[in-house]
Amino acid sequence: MKILGIDPGYGTTGFGLVEGARGQFSLIRSGAITTPPGMDFSARLEIVYEDMKKLLELSKPDAVAVEELFFGQNVTTGIGVAQSRGVILLAVRQAGVKVYQYKPMQVKQAVVGYGNATKHQVMDMTRRILHLEALPKPDDAADAIAIALCHGRSSTSLLAQIQNK
């Protein structure tokens, strides 16, 4: 199963494509969709949307896992990320790929085994699970890979198999 993980953003949207079978995962590709700061916001959303469509076409994933938003202190940034997430979900929907959404705590639990794990712990376990020498850059891509791994580990659980029937 090929899983495309997405860490949404409007300046940088991380992506990670992993392939998994029988609990073993390998990294196929990772990177980021970026938009220039200072550009009109609607133009930035258009870049994210168009690049996401191309990414989906090239990678042909079986599933897409997207991180749910967590609003911290900066609500203004959160609104922009939410809008970017919207165009990402639209592109996935139009591509006809099933989308799964995970909260940051669910990603930490699935990858590290502890829902309050630190970012460093998640990144280190991601590197170990995929047998990588170093984590891919930027950090948004590494986060997206962890989101893909979360789906890979969650979707193979017995509970998930029962719920999907």
Active site residues: 7, 67, 140
68 neighbors 103 (Cβ within 8 angstroms): yes
Tokens of 101: 């959404």
Q: Give the 3-state secondary structure of residue 108.
A: helix
Please identify which residue in the block is written with the tokens 């409007």: 10
Closest C-alpha to 65, from 4, 24, 18:
4
Q: Which helix (H) or strand (E) holds 64?
A: strand 63-67
Which 8-state DSSP code applies to residue 11? S
Amino acid residing at 56:
L
